[in-house]
Chain A
Amino acid sequence: MHNALTADPLQQSRGQPLPGDFAIWVFIFAELTVFGVLFAAYAFTRSAHVDLFNASQLTLNRAYGFANTLLLLTSSYFVARALRAIKTGRNKACGNWLAGALGLGALFLLLKLIEFHQDFARGITLSANLFYMFYLSLTFFHFMHVAMGMIILAVVAVKAYAGRYTADRHTGVETGGSYWHMVDLVWILLFALVYVIH
């Protein structure tokens, strides 16, 4: 399966620089490091409190987590399509794909807010126990990244609609897209760790 996917008929040359502005990649690597350390901290803390973590984990609504995974994966796909569109010079299509991604991002935030609301109503706070501390820190921190990513994508979308990008000059789309895919990547790890693995 993996082979079939990587067999790109375009035969695009390897050895390209990172997509988008290098500055965003410094930020992406910094953020990935923070999340990586947080994930490891979660896992090792859990190994000292397995029962507490397993019991608390069961109180989470995994359906929310799954729905949010689908939303982010699809929005990431939309962003990838937006990049394809601009590479063929279609500004409007690029904008539309980005708007779609933004819509899915907004749905993600809405769903997460509902989930937070229900958590707080049940008395879950940062100080409730170690699991909830990690759960809330990780998801809130990620939530902020989604919000930040949406601001970036919105700026890129507006520029796309305004025709500021061309098939040859579209670094902005790549920059915003790379950040958004990082947010998606982090959620994939976060979903597995906090909602699924037990």
Chain B
Amino acid sequence: MKNSYLHAIKPCTGAWLSLLALAAISFQLAYDKPGRILMLLVLVLTLLKGQLVVDHFMGLRHARPVWRVTMSVYLIAVGTLIGVAYLIR
């Protein structure tokens, strides 16, 4: 039990550190010149962050695939809507 517990921490900690790093990158990009590439980049980074939270914090990678897919579809749908809105200007 002790052993498995130690193993179980790591993915969460890894996800957390990755999230912090991604947030820092997004924050840096906030000061860049506006542009479509930049916008899409931030959007993709954001969706990636979202999926990390869903998988590792919410723990949906252990849940029935349908739930994880539901959340992924949600993230992609919201991301697509935002992306389209920013591209049609």
Contacts and interface: CB of A to CB of B under 8 A. Distances in A.
Interface of A: 1, 4-6, 8-10, 12-19, 29, 32, 36, 39-40, 43-44, 46-47, 50, 54, 62, 65-66, 69-70, 73-74, 76-77, 79-81, 83-84, 87-88, 177-178, 181-182, 184-185, 188-189, 191-193, 195-198
Contact of B78 (A4, A36, A44, A84): A36
Interface string B46-89: 10011011111111111111010010001001100110111011
A185 B52 CA distance: 9
Interface in B12-66: 12-16, 18-20, 23-24, 26-27, 29-31, 34, 39, 42-43, 45-46, 49-50, 52-65
A80 B19 contact: no
SS class of chain A's interface: helix, strand, loop or mixed? helix
A172 B13 CA distance: 22
A14 B67 CA distance: 11
Most buried by A among B24, B49, B82: B82
B34 A54 contact: yes
A29 B45 CA distance: 22
Contacts of B30: 62, 66, 195-196, 198
Interface of B: 1-2, 4-5, 7-9, 11-16, 18-20, 23-24, 26-27, 29-31, 34, 39, 42-43, 45-46, 49-50, 52-65, 67, 70, 74, 77-78, 81-82, 84-86, 88-89
B27 A62 contact: yes
A5 B11 contact: yes
Given A185-B50, A197-B42, A88 B81 contact: no
Given A13-B62, A181-B58, A189-B50, A5 B82 contact: no
B74 A46 contact: no
Given A54-B34, A70-B20, A84-B5, A16 B62 contact: yes
A69 B23 contact: yes
Contacts of B64: 14-18
B82 A77 contact: no
